[in-house]
Amino acid sequence: MTTETRDSEQKYEVRPGVPLPSFDGLPQVAAVSGSEVETLTTEYYDTEDLRLLRARITLRRREDGTDDGWHLTLPGKPWRAGAASRRELRLPLQRPGDPVPDELARLVRVHTREAGLRPVALIETRRRRTTLRDTSGGSLAEILADEVAAQTFGESTTLSRWNEIELELTGGTPELLRAAGKRLRDGGLRPAGRAAKLERALAAKPSPRRAGHRFTRHWPSGEVVLAYLDEQAARLKSLDPAVRRDETDAVHQMRVTTRRLRSTLQSFPAILPASATLRLRDELKWLGGLLGDARDTEVLTEYLRSELASTPTDLVMGPAQARIVAHYAPREAAARSAVLEALDSPRCFAMLDELDGLLDDPLVTAGAADTSRPGARCRAARDQEGGETRPLRRGGGAAGVRPEGPALRQPHESRPVNPRRPPGRGERPAGGSRDRGARSPGWGERVQLRRAARAGTPRRAGVRGPGQPGVETRSAW
């Protein structure tokens, strides 16, 4: 059975001659326990091209310690506010030399796909553990002083040694983590340059990511769009284990992410040619459709259950709850099975390969590098919240280039303008550009617009009367 732990930690490099500072007087800390020494032997697994390490995931088999077993460390949940900085899933050891458990291998298949997992490094750690305790004796945090010896596997073997300090919360608050970290920095320690021991053992650098940059308004529009795609692609992959484990809201969030990816690919043909992303958009639509079926069944079932729970019992006739379960449980199971089968299919792996290829070596138009026009500057830089960049303009407007020709006039991506529907907030009217001070109409304005539409006299740009056909470009989703 898999057990899950959620924790936050900080790593610090230890330079020769720098002693460990005292931790007395930290907030919430009533006592500091004596040091305990243990020796850990850990074997790390990854693909030949280190896909897990590049995704900031570690899979290891640990022996000789208090936490023997298989450990899979995943990033936190970016779709959930207040999520832990990382999640660690553990399985007990079965026998000496046992292979990677299928239960954990499935959770990283979105990264490994058809590639196999093999040992890439062996790390032995001599650990001195110091525990910070509260007034009742409970553990608040642990300070782990590690002497590390690493050996890599592969075509060549590399041996390395170093010392480091890990500061890990076990029951305390983030305030304690910040205070203890400041105490370590004031004592002469500096934050480690790598988050995992395996990175240092392999002398590997995390793959650079566009997502998370604080863009200025003078950045090329192509970089902004690609950064958003990179962010959503990482989010899609981080949701894969959550969907497989049937975590709350995971299917919904993955569906939202596929829609964002497809909408972005579709909305910026002046940066990413529509012909180059057509197949990827179709595959995202296929996956989103399966996720939509599963999500719709979840929502309908939950709605009926909540409505039944709020209905007075004297108005409920017969075993209504049992009927809901009997009717929808098979549908939920079938929809979930279809999603899991799709996530493990070669078709999904090919889609992920194509998405990775687009981000690693993007085929962009000349408009992607355009910074000469105000429209080409990063308007999203003014709207960044929490590090997330959101492309705001549709139809390639972010590049300051308005596409021409039939690229945006495909039947499934456009629709006739409704003469009774005024443009909403932030939308581009079909008749032309929108004034900077334009706003959504109020109730009275909408009544006037309807009357004007019936009379065939449009009262506002972009609202066409009878006999005035127009096409308003919209996302298919």
Q: Name the 3-class secondary structure at 213.
A: coil
Asked if residue 266 belongs to a domain, the reply is: yes
Give the rounded distance of the alpha carbon of 370 from its chain centre. Answer: 29
pLDDT digits (tens, 9 = 90+) for 186-200: 988 888 878 788 988
User: Is residue 46 pLDDT above 90, yes or no?
Assistant: yes
Asked if residue 207 belongs to a domain, the reply is: no
Mean pLDDT of 418-425: 46
Which residues have CB under 8 Å from 314's CB, separation 6+? none
Same domain for 142 and 240, yes or no, is no
Asked if residue 396 belongs to a domain, the reply is: no
Q: Look at 368 and 159; give whichever has higher pLDDT.
A: 159
Q: Measured between alpha carbons, how far is 197 from 309 in angstroms, rounded to an integer?
A: 51
Q: Which of 353, 374, 395 is a domain's end point? A: 374
Which residues have CB under 8 Å from 326's CB, separation 6+? none
Q: Measured between alpha carbons, how far is 163 from 177 in angstroms, rounded to an integer?
A: 21
User: Is residue 244 pLDDT above 60, yes or no?
Assistant: yes
Asked if residue 387 belongs to a domain, the reply is: no
In angstroms and rounded to an integer, the radius of gyration of the C-alpha atoms of the chain is 28
Mean pLDDT of 402-414: 41
Same domain for 270 and 329, yes or no, is yes
Same domain for 227 and 194, yes or no, is no
For residue 428, the model assigns a pLDDT of 46
Q: Measured between alpha carbons, how far is 114 from 107 in angstroms, rounded to an integer?
A: 13
Q: Look at 455 and 74; give whichever has higher pLDDT.
A: 74
pLDDT digits (tens, 9 = 90+) for 371-392: 554 344 344 433 433 444 344 3
Tokens matching residue 303:
């709605």
Mean pLDDT of 382-406: 39
For residue 406, the model assigns a pLDDT of 40
Range of the domain at 101: 3-201
Q: Look at 319 and 208; give whichever has higher pLDDT.
A: 319
pLDDT digits (tens, 9 = 90+) for 90-147: 999 888 778 999 999 999 999 999 999 999 999 999 999 999 999 999 999 999 999 9
Which residues in 402-423 are b (16+ Cβ under 10 Å) and which e? ebeeebbeeeebbeebebeebb
Q: Specify the long-range contacts of residues 142-147, CB closer than 8 Å, at least 24 apart.
A: 142/166, 142/167, 142/168, 142/170, 143/20, 143/23, 143/167, 143/180, 144/168, 145/14, 145/20, 145/35
Q: Measured between alpha carbons, how far is 87 from 239 in angstroms, rounded to an integer?
A: 13
Q: Look at 272 and 342; give whichever has higher pLDDT.
A: 342
For residue 371, the model assigns a pLDDT of 57
**Structural domains in the chain (count):** 3
Q: Output DSSP code: residue 381.
A: G
Phi, psi of 161 (to 5 degrees): -140, 145
Which residues in 292-313 are b (16+ Cβ under 10 Å) and which e? bbbbebbeebeebeeeeeeeee
Same domain for 238 and 357, yes or no, is yes
Asked if residue 397 belongs to a domain, the reply is: no
Mean pLDDT of 337-351: 97
| pLDDT, the chain, mean | 78
Which residues have CB under 8 Å from 301's CB, separation 6+? 324, 328, 332
Does this model's pTM top 0.85? My answer is no
Asked if residue 362 belongs to a domain, the reply is: yes
Q: Name the 3-class secondary structure at 240.
A: helix
Same domain for 368 and 452, yes or no, is no
Helix axes 274-309, 320-343, angle to 10 degrees: 160
Q: Look at 283 and 454; give whichever has higher pLDDT.
A: 283
Q: Measured between alpha carbons, how far is 268 from 435 in angstroms, rounded to an integer?
A: 22
pLDDT digits (tens, 9 = 90+) for 425-469: 444 444 444 444 445 556 566 666 566 555 554 444 343 444 444
Asked if residue 157 belongs to a domain, the reply is: yes
Which residues have CB under 8 Å from 71's CB, separation 6+? 58, 59, 60, 61, 62, 88, 89, 90
Same domain for 344 and 273, yes or no, is yes
For residue 412, the model assigns a pLDDT of 46
Q: Is the separation of the CB atoms in 225 and 271 below 8 Å? A: yes
Mean pLDDT of 303-331: 91
Query: Strands, E, within 137-180: which ranges?
Result: 139-152, 159-169
Mean pLDDT of 153-180: 90
**Cα dihedral across residues 109, 115, 116, 118: positive or negative:** negative
User: Is residue 224 pLDDT above 90, yes or no?
Assistant: no
Could you tell me the pLDDT band of residue 156, with boundaries at 50, 70 and 90? confident
Is the backbone of residue 420 left (phi > 0), alpha (psi -120 to 50) or beta?
alpha
Q: Which residues on adjacent β-strands are paired with residue 31?
A: 133
Same domain for 249 and 132, yes or no, is no
Same domain for 34 and 130, yes or no, is yes
For residue 153, the model assigns a pLDDT of 92
For residue 67, the model assigns a pLDDT of 79
Same domain for 245 and 105, yes or no, is no
CATH of the domain at 10: 2.40.320.10
Asked if residue 382 belongs to a domain, the reply is: no
User: Is residue 407 pLDDT above 50, yes or no?
Assistant: no
For residue 380, the model assigns a pLDDT of 40
For residue 229, the model assigns a pLDDT of 94
Which residues have CB under 8 Å from 175's CB, separation 6+? 27, 28
Of the candidates 253, 233, 205, 260, the one whose C-alpha atom is nearest the C-alpha of residue 353 is 233
CATH of the domain at 246: 1.20.120
Q: Which of 201, 229, 254 is a domain's end point? A: 201
Give the rounded distance of the alpha carbon of 176 from its chain centre. Answer: 27
Same domain for 225 and 195, yes or no, is no
Same domain for 35 and 169, yes or no, is yes
Same domain for 82 and 42, yes or no, is yes
